[in-house]
């Protein structure tokens, strides 16, 4: 635009009440609209990358009730501060991501919703404390939260910019609604809702989709809204069964020996890391240690949903939807179960389980002696059919061909 838009036209607009600006020269359009739209009460601006050349509006007062501006640059701050000051008598909702000076709004009686980040100084913190009817606050500045006076009117808090990764502290007890940015661990969410039992509505993003079931089960008094897509491990069917124990998954007894091995080990191995590690590694899952730790912290009632191999296989499909178990998958599992293991009781469980599932008829104790005599390299190269043949012999001395 080549002309000055910071002017008041002879024939102002008396129709426009709401305007959303998302274009080049956003500052020029915004200034022209505020100066000349006499009934403009709601203004939303998506800032472009062009510099703002204005410092003040031509008008001395606006009728804005809602002023939301996003992605603003530093040189926009003086103009935004001027608009806010000239809207004090009407402004009910203000959202801004920059450290705009809020001093012109001091002692506001009608501002109900405020979103602001990076307060430039303590003056803003002190000003926010003077808002007499503030009901909704969103910020990433912990100074603002810690300085809030107890108020029965402040009901909603929103986190900005994924700031509070380790949890939010010192929330006023009046807060009943909360909105969280970014994925939070279940541990952090659990601690938050236990510390603030007055919360009744929560909007948040989860690390894992099925964690919604945990929250719904533990905090039935909270109305949850779960946003965005999540990482997947357990299925929706598993989450439903977790919430409704009376619902029984259709799990028929398997006749596949390798499936039976998994299901028997699920019952026999109390350390679920020992159970799942070979199955995850054989599937070439990225960061198996992180997933194993997550499994270790998973409630037993949820783990019980995958005690059959078919249900566990659905978890693998959720983790890597474009990948399937290959022909030699169970051979890899078998090899991994034997490698880097010196725990005799663990070896006894593995050997006896395979012996039962495949009906080998081996001497379990003699087999354990044989395995303990092997090097780790020998164990890693042994193959399941050949190992089964060895297990039926009682001799302790043998060679791997």
Residue numbers of the domain that contains 331: 257-391
Confidence of residue 166 (pLDDT cuts 50, 70, 90): low
| Helices 344-357, 257-268: crossing angle, 10 deg rounding | 140
pLDDT of res. 400: 40
Same domain (yes/no): 223, 323: no
Question: What is the per-residue pLDDT across 17-75, written as a single tens digit (0 to 9) for each?
Answer: 999 999 888 889 999 999 999 999 999 998 776 778 888 899 999 999 999 998 767 78
User: Higher confidence at residue 152 or residue 78?
Assistant: 78
Same domain (yes/no): 304, 358: yes
Same domain (yes/no): 215, 317: no
Q: Is residue 142 part of a domain?
A: yes
pLDDT of res. 394: 44
pLDDT of res. 159: 81
Question: What is the per-residue pLDDT across 359-393, written as a single tens digit (0 to 9) for each?
Answer: 888 788 888 888 888 888 878 777 776 677 666 65
Write down the mean pLDDT value for the chain.
86
Confidence of residue 140 (pLDDT cuts 50, 70, 90): confident
User: Higher confidence at residue 170 or residue 59?
Assistant: 59
Q: Is residue 189 part of a domain?
A: yes
Secondary structure of residue 289 in the 3-state scheme: helix
Same domain (yes/no): 233, 265: no
pLDDT of res. 178: 94
Q: Which whole-number Å values give the CA distances from 235 to 204, 270, 325, in the listed order?
A: 19, 23, 18
Task: Work out the percent of the chain whose per-residue pLDDT is above 70.
Answer: 90
Question: What is the per-residue pLDDT across 300-338, written as a single tens digit (0 to 9) for each?
Answer: 999 999 999 999 999 999 988 888 888 889 999 998 998
Picking from 239, 267, 285, the residue at the C-terminal end of a domain is: 239
Write the DSSP symbol of residue 177. Answer: E
Q: Is residue 244 part of a domain?
A: no
CB atoms within 10 A of CB 211: 25
Q: Is residue 277 part of a domain?
A: yes
- Provide the phi-psi class of 349: left if phi over 0, else alpha when psi is between -120 and 50, else beta: alpha
Q: Is residue 8 part of a domain?
A: no
Q: Which whole-number Å values give the CA distances from 314 to 100, 179, 240, 321, 342, in the listed order?
A: 50, 32, 15, 9, 31
| CATH number of the domain bearing residue 53 | 3.80.10.10
| Helices 236-243, 309-319: crossing angle, 10 deg rounding | 130
Confidence of residue 396 (pLDDT cuts 50, 70, 90): very low
Q: Is residue 292 part of a domain?
A: yes
Same domain (yes/no): 170, 300: no
Same domain (yes/no): 155, 232: yes
Q: Is residue 13 part of a domain?
A: no
Question: How many domains are there within the chain?
Answer: 2
Torsion of CA 350, 381, 378, 365, to 10 degrees: 20
pLDDT of res. 391: 66
Secondary structure of residue 37 in the 3-state scheme: strand
The arithmetic mean of pLDDT across residues 72-100, rounded, is 88
Same domain (yes/no): 297, 189: no
User: Measured between alpha carbons, how far is 373 from 122 in angstroms, rounded to an integer?
Assistant: 71
Q: Which of 350, 349, 340, 348 is nearest to 374 (CA)?
A: 340
User: Measured between alpha carbons, how far is 138 from 136 in angstroms, rounded to an integer?
Assistant: 7
Q: What DSSP string runs through 189-232?
A: HHHHHHH-TT--EEEEEESBTTHHHHHHHH-TTSEEEE-S--B-
| Helices 329-338, 272-282: crossing angle, 10 deg rounding | 140
Same domain (yes/no): 320, 372: yes
Contact 95, 118 (CB under 8 A): no
The arithmetic mean of pLDDT across residues 161-175, rounded, is 70
pLDDT of res. 167: 62
Secondary structure of residue 338 in the 3-state scheme: helix
For 14-45, give one letter per residue: b (16+ CB within 10 A) or e: eebeebebeeeebbbbbbbbbbbbeebbbbbb
Task: Work out the percent of the chain whose per-residue pLDDT is above 90.
Answer: 48
| Contact partners, residue 101, CB within 8 Å, separation at least 6 | 77, 81, 120, 123, 124
Same domain (yes/no): 219, 332: no
HSE, CB side, 13 Å, CA atoms: give it for residue 86: 19
Cα angle: 134, vertex 140, 142; to 5 degrees:
85
pLDDT of res. 286: 77
Place of tokens 């005599």: 373
The answer to whether residue 153 scores a pLDDT higher than 60 is: yes
Contact 167, 193 (CB under 8 A): no
User: Measured between alpha carbons, how far is 67 from 93 in angstroms, rounded to an integer?
Assistant: 6
Q: Is residue 82 part of a domain?
A: yes
Same domain (yes/no): 212, 262: no
The answer to whether residue 395 scores a pLDDT higher than 50 is: no
Q: Which tokens is 124 given?
A: 């803003």
Same domain (yes/no): 301, 376: yes
| Contact partners, residue 9, CB within 8 Å, separation at least 6 | 35, 36
Same domain (yes/no): 130, 46: yes
The arithmetic mean of pLDDT across residues 213-224, rounded, is 96
């Amino acid at each position: 635009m080549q002309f000055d838009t910071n002017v008041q036209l002879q024939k102002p607009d008396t129709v426009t009440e709401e305007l959303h600006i998302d274009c080049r020269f956003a500052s020029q359009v915004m200034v022209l609209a505020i100066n000349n739209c006499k009934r403009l009460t709601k203004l939303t601006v998506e800032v472009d990358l062009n510099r703002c050349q204005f410092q003040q509006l031509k008008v001395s007062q606006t009728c804005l009730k809602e002023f939301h501006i996003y992605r603003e640059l530093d040189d926009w701050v003086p103009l935004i501060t001027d608009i806010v000051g000239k809207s004090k008598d009407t402004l009910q909702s203000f959202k801004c991501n920059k450290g705009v000076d809020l001093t012109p709004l001091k002692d506001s009686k009608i501002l109900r919703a405020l979103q602001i980040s990076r307060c430039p100084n303590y003056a803003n913190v002190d000003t926010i404390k003077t808002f007499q009817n503030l009901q909704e606050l969103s910020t990433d500045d912990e100074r603002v939260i810690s300085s809030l006076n107890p108020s029965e009117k402040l009901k909603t808090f929103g986190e900005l910019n994924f700031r509070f990764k380790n949890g939010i502290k010192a929330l006023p007890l009046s807060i009943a609604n909360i909105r969280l940015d970014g994925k939070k661990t279940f541990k952090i969410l659990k601690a938050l809702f236990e510390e603030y039992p007055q919360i009744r509505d929560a909007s948040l993003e989860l690390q894992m989709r099925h964690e919604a079931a945990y929250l719904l089960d533990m905090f039935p008094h909270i109305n949850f809204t779960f946003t965005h897509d999540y990482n997947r491990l357990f299925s929706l069917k598993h989450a439903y069964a977790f919430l409704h124990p009376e619902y029984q998954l259709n799990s028929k007894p398997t006749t596949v020996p390798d499936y039976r091995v998994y299901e028997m080990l699920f019952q026999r191995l109390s350390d679920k890391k020992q159970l799942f590690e070979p199955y995850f590694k054989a599937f070439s899952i990225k960061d198996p240690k992180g997933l194993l730790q997550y499994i270790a912290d998973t409630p037993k009632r949820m783990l019980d949903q995958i005690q059959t191999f078919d249900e566990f296989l659905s978890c693998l499909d959720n983790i890597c939807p474009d990948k399937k178990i290959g022909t030699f998958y169970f051979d890899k599992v078998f090899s991994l179960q034997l490698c880097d293991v010196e725990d005799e009781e663990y070896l006894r469980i593995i050997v006896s389980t395979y012996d039962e599932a495949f009906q080998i008829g081996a001497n379990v104790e003699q087999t354990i002696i044989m395995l303990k005599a092997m090097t780790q390299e020998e164990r890693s190269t042994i193959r399941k059919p050949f190992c089964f043949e060895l297990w039926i012999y009682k001799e302790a001395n043998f060679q791997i061909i």
